[in-house]
Copies of this chain bind each other. A is one copy, B any other.
Amino acid sequence: MEDIETKKLIPGEGKGFTEECTKVLLAVSDALYVIGGKWKLMIIIAMARGNSRFTELQKQVTGISARVLSSELKDLEANGFIIKRVTAGYPVTIEYELLPYSQTLEELVEAMTRWGMQHREKIKKERSINNSLQDTSV
């Protein structure tokens, strides 16, 4: 896919293309470190779709518990993706808002969404083929 031309071997280093590969590997593991895990992207997506209250998020992101949502929101705030906004008033309202930095994830989220949809389709097709071929097996 990519062309391998640099190939400047450090004396003592193994066979070729280690450095360029290592850079990519590092970047991907950085990304996974910050937005990996089951919930972080899901919360950001739900927020991008208009959910900003704690209970809204808990309903939209099905399966998440209050404890996990709470701690994930703190992580996301610490990493500069969201901000917690407390509005004083008769009922104090708390809202979570996306910060501009969360928009840098758009491309990634879209790519992941496309791939996930595509993959689900693939699995569905495979299952139907398998079912029609061997229907009697356990």
Residues of A within 8 A of B (CB): 1-2, 4, 14, 16-18, 20-32, 34, 36-38, 41-42, 45-46, 48-51, 59-62, 101, 104-120, 122
Query: B116 near A26 (CB under 8 angstroms)?
Result: yes
Q: By the criterion CB–CB under 8 Å, are B27 and A117 in contact?
A: yes
In the complex this chain forms, how many copies of it are found? 2
- Nearest-neighbour CB distance to chain B for A21, whole angstroms, equals 4
| With A21-B46, A45-B21, A50-B16: A116-B28 Cβ-Cβ less than 8 Å | yes
Interface residues of chain A: helix, strand, loop or mixed (majority): helix
Residue A113 contacts which of B17, B24, B41 (CB distance < 8 angstroms)?
Answer: B24
> A107 touching B116 by the CB < 8 A rule?
no
In the bound assembly, the distance between CA atoms of A36 and B35 in angstroms comes to: 10
Give the distance to chain B from A17, nearest Cβ to Cβ, in Å: 6
List, in ascending order, chain B residues with CB within 8 A of A18's CB. Answer: 60
Of A4, A38, A49, A101, the most chain B CB neighbours within 10 A belong to A49
Contact A119 B46 (CB under 8 A): no
- Nearest-neighbour CB distance to chain B for A9, whole angstroms, equals 14
Q: Is the CB of A49 within 8 A of B27?
A: no
Chain B CB count within 10 A is highest, among A25, A37, A62, for A25
